[in-house]
C-alpha cells in the first residue's frame, strides 16, 4: 500500500471509526466496516521534469443496511469536501508529514447494499536524470565594441 492510500485510510477512519479490511473481505464481515482495495492508476506527462499519475480508489463501506452505508459514505465525502479536498499526508508511523493530498473528486454510490466512496487524486514524480558534473570555473571572453580587438576575462 502506498503512503497516499494509507493516509486516505487513516483520514476516513478518523471520520468514521470502524473495522478496516485491506486484503480481502471475509465471509463473516463486521458491520460497520470499510474495505480499502489496491488503487487503480494511469500516468501521463506533466512538465519537462515530472510525470503525473492519476489514482482512483473505490472504498467499500458496509453497514447494517444500504441507507446507513450511504449515510456514512456521504459523511466521509462531505467532510473531505468541507476540508477543501485536502487530506493530510501521513508517515508510516501515522505521524503527519505537513504535506497534503489534494483530492480531485469524490463520488458516493450504493450497489447491492454496499456504499462505495470513489476518490481520485494526482501525484507528480520527478523523471530520473543522470547526474551531471558540477561546473566550477567558467571564463568568458567578451570583445568590447565593434572590432576594437580588446578582450577581457570575466
User: Which CATH class for the 3-153 domain?
Assistant: alpha beta
CA 47 to chain centre: 18
Flag whether the pTM goes above 0.85.
no
pLDDT exceeds 60 at position 112: yes
Looking at 52-66, 82-96, 105-119, 132-146, which range is the least confident one? 132-146
Could you read off the pLDDT of 15-69 as tens digits, one per residue? 999 999 999 888 899 999 999 999 999 998 888 889 999 999 999 999 999 999 9
C-alpha–C-alpha distance, residues 87 and 110, integer Å:
24
Amino acid at each position: 500500500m502506498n503512503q497516499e492510500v494509507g493516509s486516505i485510510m487513516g483520514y476516513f477512519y478518523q471520520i468514521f471509526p470502524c473495522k478496516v479490511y485491506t486484503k480481502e473481505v471475509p465471509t463473516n464481515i463486521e458491520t460497520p466496516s470499510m474495505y480499502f482495495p489496491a488503487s487503480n492508476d494511469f500516468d501521463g506527462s506533466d512538465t519537462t521534469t515530472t510525470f503525473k499519475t492519476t489514482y482512483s480508489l473505490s472504498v467499500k463501506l458496509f453497514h447494517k443496511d444500504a441507507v446507513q452505508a450511504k449515510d456514512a459514505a456521504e459523511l466521509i465525502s462531505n467532510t473531505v469536501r468541507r476540508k477543501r479536498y485536502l487530506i493530510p499526508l501521513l508517515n508510516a508511523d501515522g505521524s503527519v508529514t505537513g504535506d497534503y493530498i489534494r483530492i480531485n473528486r469524490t463520488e458516493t454510490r450504493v450497489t447491492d447494499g454496499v456504499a462505495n466512496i470513489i476518490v481520485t487524486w494526482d501525484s507528480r514524480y520527478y523523471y530520473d536524470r543522470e547526474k551531471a558534473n558540477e561546473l566550477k570555473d567558467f571564463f568568458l571572453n567578451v570583445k568590447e565594441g565593434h572590432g576594437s580587438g580588446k578582450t577581457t576575462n570575466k
